[in-house]
Amino acid sequence: MPSAAISKKNVGRAARRGRIAPKKTGAQEPVAMDAGLEREVEVARSAALAAGRILLRHYRRGSYKVGSKGYDNPVTTADLEADRTIKRMLTRAFPDYGWLSEETADTSDRLGRRRVWIVDPLDGTKEFIKGIPEFCVAIALVERGAPILGITYNPVKDEMFWAARGMGCHLNDDAVRVTRTRVLKRARVLASRSETARGEWEVYRGVLRVSPTGSVAYKLALVAGGKADATFSRTPKNEWDIAAGAALVTEAGGMMTDIRGRAMRFNQKRTVRSGMIASNGLLHQALVKAASIQTNGE
């Protein structure tokens, strides 16, 4: 199916050549090439494609049931089926790695593992239900708290964003980078559709060029791919929402922090983070300041 099927040859080429281009000023420092992640990339990519096929089938047929995990937090049978598929593929290939997923009961076992998969089988469930093609599969691999691999796959648009430590960031077969926008007023900032509907972005009218977009993980991928300059949210986020995007943005030359500009660590006992900011790096400090504006007027 998808043209997003990146050849093993291209993954190997990325691993051998290492960094696609130097990091931009203001972004995280470059890291060494890690060709040892080539197999993880291949298996995770295959898992994302398999899960994407499941989501696409349900999306087109409407053949799923909707439940709820709490306030404004729907779950579908498509989420659960995709989760089972990803878990089976990743844990069989890498039995020594830990596991954290939105749709799987959490255990403390992962906290003692050096490497842990962090997965959201369907990020953007509300968009999925509404028929808006802004949802994705998100898979991250974290090593000692740092994201070293990230994959985000939108099956409707057949967009696979993937990155691994030292290999750079890619959209399908093409290397991608963050933008070079330096002026905040010219920046395209992606905002949550839900937050926009609640009026939380009105305070930025005339200050930022805001584009409502679904799925946290997908927004982060779009920033990494240079299709937007930044995204941020004051709403708490779970690790599975943002871990894959953190790897993508960093490898693309950008920067991602919590809402106060502090570095993030993953595979923590408490999986919730107090919001996030992702940018091309050049805009980051200005965005940290902008995000500090209280949306409730206090």
DSSP line for 237-278: EEHHHHHHHHHHHHHTT-EEE-TTS-----S-SS-EES-EEE
What does the pLDDT average to over 7-17?
Answer: 57
Do 178 and 254 meet the contact criterion of CB atoms below 8 Å apart? yes
- C-alpha distances (whole Å) from 135 to each of 113, 150, 189, 214, 222 are 29, 16, 18, 7, 12
Q: Mean pLDDT for the chain? A: 88
The better pLDDT of the pair 206, 188 is held by 188
**What is the pLDDT, as a whole number, of residue 23?**
35
**What is the pLDDT, as a whole number, of residue 197?**
92
Do 120 and 153 meet the contact criterion of CB atoms below 8 Å apart? no
The segment(s) of the chain belonging to CATH 3.30.540.10 are 8-176
Q: Could you tell me the fold of the domain covering 184-291?
A: D-Maltodextrin-Binding Protein; domain 2 (3.40.190)
pLDDT exceeds cutoff 90 at 19: no
CA distance 165 to 251: 7
Please enumerate in sequence order all residues whose Cβ is within 8 A of that of 201, keeping only pairs 6 or more positions apart, or say none: 191, 195, 210, 295
The segment(s) of the chain belonging to CATH 3.40.190.80 are 184-291
E-state strands within 69-200: 74-76, 98-101, 115-123, 136-143, 146-154, 159-164, 168-171, 174-176, 188-192
What does the pLDDT average to over 49-76?
Answer: 86
Q: How many residues does the chain have?
A: 298
User: For residue 74, what pLDDT band results from cuts at 50, 70 and 90?
Assistant: confident
Q: Could you tell me the fold of the domain covering 8-176?
A: Fructose-1,6-Bisphosphatase; Chain A, domain 1 (3.30.540)
User: For residue 12, what pLDDT band results from cuts at 50, 70 and 90?
Assistant: low
CA distance 271 to 33: 28
pLDDT exceeds cutoff 90 at 274: no
**What is the pLDDT, as a whole number, of residue 295?**
41
* Strand pairing class (188-192; 209-213): parallel
If we measure between CA atoms, which residue out of 124, 84, 112 comes closest to residue 240? 124
Instruction: Determine what percent of the chain is predicted with pLDDT higher than 70.
Output: 85
What does the pLDDT average to over 144-173?
Answer: 98
- C-alpha distances (whole Å) from 200 to each of 103, 132, 177, 257, 291 are 28, 21, 29, 20, 11
CA distance 7 to 125: 29
CA distance 294 to 290: 9
User: For residue 5, what pLDDT band results from cuts at 50, 70 and 90?
Assistant: very low
Per-residue pLDDT tens over the stretch 225-255? 999 999 999 999 999 999 999 999 999 999 9
Give the range among 34-43, 129-138, 187-196, 283-292 with minimum mean pLDDT. Answer: 34-43
**What is the pLDDT, as a whole number, of residue 32?**
46
Residues linked to residue 269 through DSSP beta bridges, in sequence order? none
Measure the N-to-C terminal CA separation of the chain; round to a whole number of Å. 51
CA distance 49 to 161: 12
The better pLDDT of the pair 9, 165 is held by 165
Give the range among 26-35, 84-93, 144-153 with minimum mean pLDDT. Answer: 26-35
pTM equals: 0.87
